[in-house]
Amino acid sequence: MTLNTEPTVAYLPGSYDPVTNGHLDIIHRAAALFGAVVVGVAAEAEKQHLFPLDERIAMVREGCADLPTVRVEGFSGLVVEAARAAGARLLVKGLRQACDLAHEAPMAHMNRGLRPELETVFLLSDPAHAHLSSGLIKWVCGMGGDISAHVPPQVAQRLVARLRG
């Protein structure tokens, strides 16, 4: 067995609508584990997003500004193709609860069938963030709740302006 000495590129796909402290925790931890991290922000034309792609990319970039080995880019189409274009050997997915694994495992198997050399790695959420989802954050903010503990300040400002403005 020979060791590969090239830095491992990890790809973290998601819609990040908006990015939460839970997302950023996974990104920071992946950056500590792997040589380079590419955060892929999905365009997903069939999904209704609160924020347009360019604004979601900007919010993730702001949240990762202190991580020199992380780059953020948009993508459309299959995750495995975006990961290939980024030079990634790993897909990293965060898991909050057991139901996330039930959703992510079939996708990991399909991705392995499409691109066998691409390995999926799961990172468990920090318990402090395990209840967070972008949808829940948007709902609480829209109902007037305080979301400041769950998203970066600039994201909270954008959410309040968009949902309560």
Active-site annotation holder among 15, 23, 93, 158: 23
pLDDT the model gives residue 2: 56
Predicted confidence (pLDDT) per residue in 65-78, tens digit: 999 999 999 999 99
Measured in degrees and rounded to the nearest 5, phi and psi for residue 48 equal -85, 120
Active-site annotation holder among 89, 96, 115, 129: 96
93 is catalytic: no
Active-site annotation holder among 15, 115, 134, 150: 134
pLDDT the model gives residue 35: 87
Q: What is the pTM of this model?
A: 0.92
134 is catalytic: yes
Contacts of 103 (CB under 8 A, 6+ apart): none
84 is catalytic: no
Band (pLDDT 50/70/90 cuts) for residue 3 is low
Predicted confidence (pLDDT) per residue in 138-153, tens digit: 999 999 999 999 999 9
103 is catalytic: no
Q: What residue ranges define each of the domains in the chain, with the CATH number in brackets?
A: 9-130 (3.40.50.620)
pLDDT the model gives residue 44: 83
